[in-house]
């Protein structure tokens, strides 16, 4: 894979046109290793976990990590991952592209979510979806930042995208995917032509940036012995209100999720303050639902 970096304006133009860009080698080996080292700590519940995995001391780290597909919101409790949310190279690219669809954007960016994927051999992918469906910014500033912790290819279930599918700026309806062998529980976007879908193979340390309206999915990890680990963080314009995980009874027009991390620029809502994150993260177990754990956190009184 080439390591030639495109210019800032080329990256921005490709992001606007295609809905995603790949920046090779953005995360160095030390940072990559620091994130990878966090996975067994979550599997062994060395950090506070709402739904701990069935892991014993006798298990190797690989066996322990093999019990889970992903960790939700690891940056709430892991200093290494909190640092990665504000990684300078990633912040620089976000400063170029986050408001690429907003002519008067002032450069402010905040992070609201992280997910640490283990995806060991045999574990399923995610069916077609648009992240904007779940994290509503509605101003086209939502960016997924997919940090490859392993080489990822079609064999171990790399990210797959439908280039240019972000262009209409519409949210597609959802339905059952009916393929539990391929995808984890969760619905699938419908009502679009998937012709033109492409895999996005990357090397460890490469970073994919994709628009929140871009249709994407991943397949099962079919490899015999290769994990497909990735840290995926989500960001948006600091000016976006985020009616996400809205408390009962709150006016949706003013609801604003404030468990966020300021990354670049000014926070125009700074006078509201930030909210502390919940004290526990939750795991998406291998082969299991995770809604209950999400509810535990959502009713923890802090979201
Ligand atoms: O990494 C994957 O397999 C899917 C990630 C994804 O769909 C997302 O972060 O929205």
Q: How high is the pLDDT of residue 301?
A: 36
pTM for the full predicted model: 0.94
Q: How confident is the model at residue 9 (pLDDT cuts 50, 70, 90)?
A: confident
Tell whether 117 is covered by a domain.
yes
The pick from 159, 166, 284 for probing ligand 1's pocket by mutation, whose C-beta has the most ligand atoms within 8 angstroms, reads 159
Q: Decide whether any atom of ligand 1 lies within 6 Å of the 142 Cβ.
A: no
Q: Give the pLDDT confidence of 135-180 residue by residue, as tens digits.
A: 999 899 999 999 999 999 999 999 999 999 999 999 999 999 999 9
**217 CA to middle of ligand 1, Å?**
7
Which atom of ligand 1 lies at the shortest distance from residue 115's CA? 9
Domain containing residue 288: 8-298
Report whether 40 contacts 64 (CB < 8 A): yes
Tell whether 283 is covered by a domain.
yes
Q: Give the pLDDT confidence of 65-75 residue by residue, as tens digits.
A: 999 999 999 99
Q: Give the pLDDT confidence of 123-134 residue by residue, as tens digits.
A: 999 999 999 999
Q: For residue 229, give the 3-state DSSP assignment.
A: coil
Which atom of ligand 1 lies at the shortest distance from residue 144's CA? 9
Tell whether 205 is covered by a domain.
yes
Q: Decide whether any atom of ligand 1 lies within 6 Å of the 130 Cβ.
A: no
Maximum alpha-carbon separation in the chain: 56
* Number of domains forming the structure of the chain: 1
Tell whether 140 is covered by a domain.
yes
Q: Decide whether any atom of ligand 1 lies within 6 Å of the 159 Cβ.
A: yes
For the sheet with 159-161, list strands across it: 198-199, 159-161, 216-218
- Tell me which residue of 46, 62, 64 sits closest to 54, measured CA to CA: 64
**127 CA to middle of ligand 1, Å?**
9
* CATH number of the domain encompassing residue 160: 2.60.120.620
Give CA–CA dist 46/75, Å, rounded. 14
């Amino acid at each position: 894979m080439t390591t030639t970096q495109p210019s800032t304006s080329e990256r921005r133009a490709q992001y606007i046109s295609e809905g995603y860009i790949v920046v090779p080698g953005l995360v160095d080996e030390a940072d990559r290793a620091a994130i990878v080292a966090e996975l067994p700590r979550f599997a062994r519940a060395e950090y506070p976990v709402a739904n701990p995995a069935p892991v014993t001391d006798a298990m190797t780290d690989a066996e322990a990590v093999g019990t889970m597909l992903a960790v939700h919101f690891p940056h709430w409790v892991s200093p290494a991952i909190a640092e990665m949310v504000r990684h300078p190279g990633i912040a620089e690219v976000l400063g170029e592209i986050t408001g690429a669809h907003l002519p008067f954007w002032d450069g402010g960016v905040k992070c609201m979510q992280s997910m640490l994927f283990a995806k060991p051999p045999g574990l399923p992918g995610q069916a077609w979806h648009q992240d904007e469906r779940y994290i509503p910014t509605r101003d086209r500033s939502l960016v997924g930042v997919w940090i490859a912790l392993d080489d990822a290819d079609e064999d171990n279930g790399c990210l797959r995208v439908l280039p240019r599918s972000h262009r209409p700026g519409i949210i597609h309806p959802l339905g059952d995917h009916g393929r539990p062998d391929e995808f984890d529980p969760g619905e699938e976007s419908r009502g679009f032509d998937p012709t033109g879908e492409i895999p996005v193979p990357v090397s460890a340390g490469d970073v994919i940036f994709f628009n929140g309206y871009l249709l994407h999915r991943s397949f099962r990890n079919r490899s015999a012995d290769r994990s497909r680990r990735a840290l995926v963080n989500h960001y948006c314009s600091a000016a976006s209100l985020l009616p996400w995980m809205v408390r009962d009874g709150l006016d949706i027009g003013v609801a604003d999720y404030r468990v966020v991390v300021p990354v670049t620029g000014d926070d125009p809502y700074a006078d509201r303050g930030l909210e502390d994150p919940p004290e526990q993260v939750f795991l998406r177990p291998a082969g299991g639902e995770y809604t209950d754990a999400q509810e535990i956190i959502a009713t923890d009184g802090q979201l």
